[in-house]
A and B are shown apart, each in its own frame.
Chain A
Amino acid sequence: MMQLHAGSVNSWNDCTVKSRMLQLTDRHINKINTCGYTVIDDIVPIRQIAEAKRTLTKIYAGEKNLSPLLNSKLYQRSVCLVHKEKVFRSICQTPEVLSLVSSLFGNDFTIGSLNALTIKPGEEQQNLHFDQRGVAGALSMLIVMFPLDDSTFENGCTRLIPASHQMVHRLDAKADSTVNQFTHLEEQAIHVEVAAGSAIAFNALLLHAVSRNTSNHFQDAVIATYCRKWVKPLWNIVASIPGNISINFTEEERQLFGFYQSNPTPYDYKRCNIYTPSRLRANLERVRRKIYKMTNSLIPKG
């Protein structure tokens, strides 16, 4: 595995690493724009992969009975990994990926989901689907899959239709893998085999799916979505994280997970004014208004 940065954020200061990252980014941006996807090799260090696998096994064991909906005979999922273990936060902040996403979206992007998916032996082939609707060819959400096991044809690697992000879908096309709506494109699918430690990044409009796992082994992966700041994220990560955990987040992480993202503003129908969802601000505003009214009545008119 390439010793590019060994997962250290300090490596950002290294000029050679930076220039290498820029080259990587340019190449990958072109590939994402034309084909809708790219593979970034050797970016997550082995020790981080091993730690993530170990942690994921523990999480799965804990959630096995707790959330039966996320655990079937053929797959197990764990959603919203952000607060579960720090290692997952490190994986989605891999410098190469952040560099790629910021080149595509600018610096104010957010992470809209961070989930794990394990495909069990015998997994049926998933239907081709896209993850989010959007204007054909435009890029507003990027999905990055970090395999924790080598992802091969046998164990059900991702298959995708290159350049399908530029297709104009029918109006009733849904971002739903349970609907069999793109079968006619199956023959154009390519299977993307990537080694553990690498990542597949693709436009959320690209048609893709998990393939059949014909091996006897599990295939673990961490999947993160990165989105432009004006796009609705898949998850409200801020509302999902327990307060005591989010205190430990760095400023960079808070920005990344959408703590400072502007949500649609609710309207105060009684007072005809704007209130952000913060109660403190709402109450402060009420006090301010009362003072305004009181002082206003004291000032002589005319």
Chain B
Amino acid sequence: MSPLTDSKRYSEEINTHGYTVVPNVISAELAVKAKTALDRIFTREKIIAPELDSAMHQVSFCIAHKERIFRSICQIPETLQLARSVLGNDCTLSVFNGISMKPHGDEQQLHIDQQGPAGEVELLNMLFPLDDFTRGNGCTRLIPGSHKLVHAVGTTADHRSTQFKHLEDQAIYMEIPVGSAIVYNGLIVHAGSRNRTDHPRRALIVSYCRQWIQPQWDFVKGMPRHILADFTEEERMLFGYYAEKPLIYDHKTAYVYSPSPFRKNLERVRRKADKLFSLFLR
């Protein structure tokens, strides 16, 4: 099958079942490199961010800039093309985390990752296992078709809440090998299961969202300049550098400003110069 046909099939599966599995998107070599890089990050962050290391898992947020290898994973042609075909060409990254489910750690509760209109795809999650996902090591479980459920008011995207416990018997366990990816609608009810083995189960989580949705992370704000300078145009677009942001109004000058302070200050200087010139010209 051609990549285009595959992409169409995956899109259909996402629409009907809420998830799909895309096989062989990461080479074994890339997976090993990514796992080593993630381990390095976890070791470093265990000391500087101990609160991200719980009894259930260790998480590392916004990993794109931490090791260059991760930037290539959120741009794997097959999965990026799938994200763009489902969410539009101007979709941006919402989340890019690394996670390690602890050996004999706690189980996650069934949850959704984002609220949204039932059945629509506004946030698309991709889970790239760096260790084979098995029932024993606590692979992801999910409820097929649950993206079409209309949730009660007050339903939150919280993996500690027991709001979906009644759906547990419908859960299927996603046992997939390293190199494949689980792609699922942000509305699907899912969770990481208990890791009963003696080894950690590591994975990368990448979420793409539609251009008009608030992403979970503001990747650009606070990003060190030397890292941003290294980003390609395509990467800048993907990480939301050019994404439209809500406008800000300057109530003193009754003017509309984009949130850029540079443009704001430039406009102020221009206005002052205009006033000065008009004084002389009068």
Give residues in A with beta carbon < 8 Å to B: 62-63, 66-67, 69-70, 78-80, 83, 106-107, 112, 132-135, 138-140, 171, 229-236, 239-242, 262-269, 271-275, 292
Neighbouring A residues of B231 by C-beta, 8 Å: none
Neighbouring A residues of B49 by C-beta, 8 Å: 271-273
* Structural contact, B214 and A230, CB atoms closer than 8 A: yes
* Structural contact, B216 and A264, CB atoms closer than 8 A: yes
* Structural contact, A240 and B251, CB atoms closer than 8 A: yes
Q: Of B218, B251, B256, which contacts A267 at CB under 8 A?
A: B218
A227 CB to closest chain B CB, in angstroms? 9
* Structural contact, A139 and B245, CB atoms closer than 8 A: no
Neighbouring B residues of A171 by C-beta, 8 Å: 88-89
Neighbouring B residues of A229 by C-beta, 8 Å: 115
Asked whether A66 and B253 contact (CB < 8 A) given A134-B212, A272-B48, A273-B52, the answer is: yes
Contact with A along B158-182 (1 / 0, CB 8 A): 0000000000000000000000000
Neighbouring A residues of B48 by C-beta, 8 Å: 271-272
Residue from the set A69, A135, A140 with the largest chain B CB neighbour count within 10 Å = A135
* Structural contact, A240 and B249, CB atoms closer than 8 A: yes
B interface bracket (residues with beta carbon within 8 Å of A)? 35 or more
Neighbouring B residues of A62 by C-beta, 8 Å: 254
Q: Which residue of B lies closest to A105 (CB)?
A: B117
Q: Which residue of B lies closest to A289 (CB)?
A: B48
A70 CB to closest chain B CB, in angstroms? 7
Neighbouring B residues of A230 by C-beta, 8 Å: 114-116, 122, 213-214
Interface members, chain B 173-224 (any A CB < 8 Å)? 210-219, 221-224
Q: How far is the CA of A233 from the CA of B50 in the complex (A)?
A: 35
Q: How far is the CA of A229 from the CA of B115 in the complex (A)?
A: 9
Q: Among the listed stretches B24-32, B57-65, B127-135, B138-146, which one makes contact with chain A, having 4 or more residues with CB under 8 Å of it? A: B57-65
B137 CB to closest chain A CB, in angstroms? 25
